[in-house]
Amino acid sequence: MPYAIPRSLSVACLVLALAACQHSVRSERPLYDQVGGEAGVAAVVDGLLHRVHGDSRLNGLFETTDLEDLRRLVNEQLCEALGGPCVYSGRSMEDAHSGLAITDQEFDWFVEHLVAAMNHAGVQSKHQSAILAVLGPMRPQVVGQ
Ligand code: HEM
């Protein structure tokens, strides 16, 4: 068998492949860190809430809301959802939005404000897409409750 690969070489290749794989997994930083950690998330949340509260199509929904509490909870939730070192301590999305009867249109306006806030905070478009992919699936838990 002139082309047989020596056993020791095969083992060496396998070890190298595993090491490379482990390295790529280790260098995959959480999205939370990639968007600037605590300060990066806070900039997005502040921009989002500021825009939502300035929008007369949406701000009536927040009339009785404790805004400081909301700010803290949205920061916590986004931090946890992006792989950061937080534990969300708020209500479920269904409970938090229960009785508000939020429509798909209102959800879309909210997302438009989120995108504007991310642009303003300088979040790269690949990270914006990843954040939207995390929040988008929450639509059915928010709309129509
Ligand atoms: C994926 C999108 C959304 C996320 C991640 C989110 C997240 C949250 C969180 C964490 C809270 C606080 C929960 C608690 O009090 O325990 C909250 C409350 C609230 N959210 Fe959202 N939300 C989303 C979409 C929306 C939309 C589209 C609207 C309206 C247009 C909205 C309106 C409200 C209001 C009015 C409250 C306060 C309710 C109260 O005062 O009891 N949210 N949301």
Task: Give residue-wise pLDDT tens across range 3-37.
Answer: 566 666 555 544 445 444 444 445 589 999 999 99
- Say if 50 falls within a structural domain: yes
Q: How far is CA 106 from the centre of its chain?
A: 19
Please report, for the domain that includes residue 82, its CATH number: 1.10.490.10
- Say if 70 falls within a structural domain: yes
- Say if 122 falls within a structural domain: yes
Residues with CB under 6 A from ligand 1: 58, 61-62, 64-65, 70, 73-74, 77, 90-91, 96-97, 100, 102, 106-107, 110, 135, 138, 142
- Say if 118 falls within a structural domain: yes
Output the residue whose Cα is nearest ligand 1's atom 24. 142
Task: Give residue-wise pLDDT tens across range 32-75.
Answer: 999 999 999 999 999 999 999 999 999 999 999 999 999 999 99
Give the H or E element holding residue 101: none
Q: Which amino acid is at 11?
A: V
